[in-house]
Amino acid sequence: MPWLRPDSEGLLSAAAGMGDQLAAAMSTHVPLPGALERAALTSIVVAGMGGSAVAGEVLQAYAAPRSPLPVLLVNSASAPGFLGESSLVFAVSFSGHTEETLAVASAALAAGAPVVALTCGGPLARLVAEAGGTVMDLASGPLRTVSQPRLAAGATVSTLLLACEQIGVLRGVRPELSRACEQLEERRASLASGGGIAAEVARRIGRTIPVFHGACGLGAVAARRWKTQVNENSKAPAYFGVQPEVCHNEVCGFGQHGDVTRQMLTLVNLRSGLEDARLRRGFDLFAELTSEALAGVIDVEAEGEGDLARFFDLVMIGDFVSLHLATREGIDPGPVPTLAELKLRLASETPA
C-alpha cells in the first residue's frame, strides 16, 4: 500500500518516475529547423513561470560555463528589448496557457525571433505553430498522466537541454542524462518505499521552517526547487539561499531573535559534492556561525557521476522530502487551491 496518503493526483508515482521522463526525452527526436544553427545565433532566451521555469533555470546554470552563447531566463511578461532574428526563444509552459509566457512568445514572434514551444498544447502551441515556429509536444510518454507542471521537471529540463545540444550550443548532454537516469533509478529504489534519506530529512525538519542553501549554479536551482516543492506539496513556508552570496549578507541575520529562530528555522545544506574548497568551507562556516540560532542543521550530499546526475539526485530527494512533510500532516500534496484562486482573481481584477 502506498505510504503517501492522500495522493489524489499521483505525486508519489510522478516523483518516482523522474528518471523515466529523462529516458523518454532521450528516445524522442523532434527535428529543429536547420536555420537554428549555432553560427546564426547570438543569444538564447527561455520564457517560463513556476514549475515550467525550472527548465530555464537549469539551462542557464548548466550552460554558463559551457555555452558560447548567453542564456537569459525570463519569468515575467516583459520580453527583453534585444530580441531579434538571432535570438532563439524557448517558450516553456506545461499547460500552454501561462499568460506571461504567451506574452513573451508573442513579442518574440513580432520581433522576428525564432520561437520553440515546449508545451502540452493550448494557446501557446497554436500561437507558435501558426507563426511557423516549432512545437515540442510534452503530452506523451510518462507525462500522459501528469497534471501539474512541477511534476514534469524531468521532461522539460531534458527536452530543453537536448534541443540545445541538437543545435550545437551544448555538447555531451546525452551521456550526462544517461548517467542521471542511472542515478535516479538507484535513488528511487531507496525512496519509493517511504524510507531512505528523504524520510529522515523530513523527520528532522518536522514543523520548523526549512531554509535551503545550495552552491551557485545547479546547486542554487536545486535549493529553489526544494523550496517551491515544500510550498506547493507541503503547503508550508520555506526559503532558499545561495552560496557564496549568503556569506556576504544572510549570515548577519542571526544576531537577534535567536530565541525565536531556534524554535522555527532549520538550515538544510544541499551539497553536490563537486564544490570547490572555498564553497565547501563557506557551507561549514555559515552553519558554525549560526547553529546556536537554528533548530538544526542538515547536510544532504548528492550522489552520481556528473553535474546533471547529482543535480537530479538532489531534486528527487527534495521531491520526496516534500511528500513526507505533506503526509506527516495528512495533507494531499497535489491540489493547489490557493494558486487557482490567485490566478482567477488576477484574471478577473486585472484591466484588459
- Burial-class residue 31 by CB neighbours within 10 Å (0-12, 13-18, 19+): exposed
Backbone angles phi, psi at 349, to 5 degrees: -100, -15
188, part of any domain = no
Q: Which residue has the cell 495533507?
A: 331
- Do residues 208 and 324 both lie within one domain? yes
Residues 133, 234 within the same domain: no
Residue 56 sits in the same domain as residue 160: yes
3-class state of residue 266 by DSSP: strand
Q: Do residues 135 and 223 share a domain?
A: no
Is 213 in the same domain as 283? Answer: yes
Residue 11 lies in a domain: no
Q: Are 167 and 37 part of one and the same domain?
A: yes
Total domains in the chain come to: 2
* pTM for the model: 0.96
Q: Which three cell numbers stand for residue 255?
A: 544576531
With respect to residue 164, please indicate whether it lies within any of the assigned structural domains.
Answer: yes
Instruction: Say if residue 324 is in the same domain as residue 214.
Output: yes
Separation CA 62–CA 329 (nearest Å): 36
Same domain, 161 and 219: no
The closest of 123, 98, 82 to 48, measured between CA atoms, is 98
Task: Residue 160: give its domain's CATH number.
Answer: 3.40.50.10490
Are residues 204 and 319 both part of a single domain? yes
Q: Which amino acid is at 101?
A: T
Is residue 340 assigned to a domain? no
Task: Walk along the chain (352 residues) and give the pLDDT tens digit of each residue.
Answer: 489 999 999 999 999 999 999 999 999 877 887 667 777 899 999 999 999 999 999 999 999 999 999 999 999 999 999 999 999 999 999 999 999 999 999 999 999 999 999 999 999 999 999 999 999 999 877 787 778 899 999 999 999 999 999 999 999 999 999 999 999 999 999 999 999 999 999 999 999 999 999 999 999 999 999 999 999 999 999 999 999 999 999 999 999 999 999 999 999 999 999 999 999 999 999 999 999 999 999 999 999 999 999 999 999 999 999 999 999 999 999 999 999 999 899 888 877 6
Residue 135, in any domain of the structure = yes
Distance in angstroms (rounded) separating the CA atoms of residues 163 and 35: 14
- Asked whether residue 185 is assigned to any structural domain, the reply reads no
Judged by DSSP in three states, 198 sits in: helix
Residue range(s) defining the domain that contains residue 161? 31-171
State whether 215 and 129 are in the same domain. Answer: no
Are residues 314 and 253 part of one domain?
yes
Does residue 349 lie within any of the structural domains? no
Q: Residue 122 CB: number of other CB atoms within 10 A?
A: 17
CA-based R_g, the chain, Å: 20
| pLDDT at position 35 | 65
Domain membership flag for residue 109? yes
DSSP element (H, E) containing 323: helix 307-328
pLDDT at 352: 63
Residue 31, pLDDT score:
80
Do 212 and 167 sit in the same domain of this protein?
Answer: no
| 273-to-105, 213, 214, 285, 310 alpha-carbon distances in Å | 37, 14, 11, 17, 8
